[in-house]
Structure 1
């Protein structure tokens, strides 16, 4: 996939806040902004065909009553945790 450069303008306060967040993650401001923008874009994208097929399969198994699930309370109990 190709890359495109874009010029953006942010106010100084926003830059200051973002620089602090970047430092907390041990990233440069540029890397932090690229990461955040790409991560946000992925959240808007459509799920992959593999994921859709897996979910369709799970829904089908749920309708047929063959989907096996474990209650959250049992999982937490297994790890010594409480709700």
Structure 2
């Protein structure tokens, strides 16, 4: 019987957006898509603010300097929303 390895530290490769979603491509080939409405600071941001992101650590988090917003990839995978 084959056993799948569980990724304990999922890592982002890239970040993009469509009209209402944050889309994160992971280094293992998966793609996460979550509603922007889960994160008020992102849903109210301009396109240029959204595009100004950087990866934290080895891609375990995403940071938007202009918005002072940080999201963890692991949190996105389990469905965490903003608490603000």
TM-score, with structure 2 as normaliser: 0.22
| Bigger Rg, structure 1 or 2 | 1
Give the structure with the higher percent helix.
Answer: 1
Give the structure with the larger strand fraction: 2
